[in-house]
Amino acid sequence: MHRLIGVATMAAALALSTPALAAPPAGAKTRLGTLDMRKAFNDCRAGRDARDRLRVDFERKQKKLDADQEEVKKLLAKGSSETDQARRDAVGKQVEERTRVLQETYKRFQRELEEAEKAATAKLLKDIRSLVPPVAQVLKLAGVAEADGVYFTDPNVERVDVTAEIVKRLDAITPKAKGPAGRFPPSLAPYKGMPLKAPPTPAKAPSKAPGR
């Protein structure tokens, strides 16, 4: 599930629309705006901040899962070294319970990341949709379409890329991070919808001591 936030569903969700404009003068080309959604999401400050938040949350959750898994492994090793059967059985039950909790935590963390990603995507889509009509008015466009969805235009239709203008206006309405270092660490490894590493199911502690 390697993807930039929300890009897979943007085209269907965007439904770009612009107010009706007067027909161009005779002989003038109709102007159609095109918007590269992937580039807009990647380049705007709101998109970068959203990926940083998701990445920080992702790394925190994965670190927690890895630490819990190590604890289960240590508990499993302890059970394997026990010579008293009663203690081995007790440790075995602890391993089973800790494993169950670990699997539930993994599912909850993954669900939380997906919900956060959807929320960030929805917010960006809402902001972009609000900016399209005024940009179309200023540039005197007959309409605006998602760039990947335009396969053909009449020779009398002039395409106008509005991506840079949308990004500029998005940045203008996005609060800047406080402090010289910003709110989040630099995006050395940007979040790309990465699924958490699922913890394997550890083997149960042996029910009988060796040689018995």
* pLDDT tens digits for range 20-30: 444 555 567 89
DSSP 59: H
Q: Are 14 and 122 spatial neighbours (Cβ–Cβ below 8 Å)?
A: no
Question: Would you say the C-alpha torsion 125, 45, 108, 99 has a positive or negative sign?
Answer: positive
Establish if 203 belongs to a structural domain: no
Q: Is residue 54 part of a domain?
A: yes
The reply to whether 130 falls in a domain is: yes
- 66 lies in a domain? yes
Report the greatest alpha carbon distance in the chain: 97
Tell me, yes or no, whether 84 lies in a domain.
yes
pLDDT of residue 21: 44
Residue 63's pLDDT band (boundaries 50, 70, 90)?
very high
Is the residue at 118 inside a domain?
A: yes
pLDDT at residue 16, rounded to an integer: 47
Q: In what order do the strands lie in the sheet with 30-35?
A: 143-146, 30-35, 157-161
pLDDT of residue 9: 45
Q: State the total domains in the chain.
A: 1
Is-contact 16 205, C-beta < 8 A? Answer: no
Which range of residues forms the domain containing residue 40?
31-173
Look at residue 153 in the predicted model and tell me its pLDDT.
82
Angle, to 10 degrees, between the axis of helix 85-139 and the axis of helix 163-173? 110
pLDDT digits 0-9 by tens, 137-195: 999 999 999 988 888 888 889 999 999 999 999 999 988 766 444 454 444 455 666 67
pTM: 0.71
Q: Do the domain assignments include residue 105?
A: yes
CATH assignment of the domain containing 157: 3.30.910.20
User: So what's the pLDDT on residue 11?
Assistant: 46
- Asked if the structure places residue 190 within a domain, the reply is no
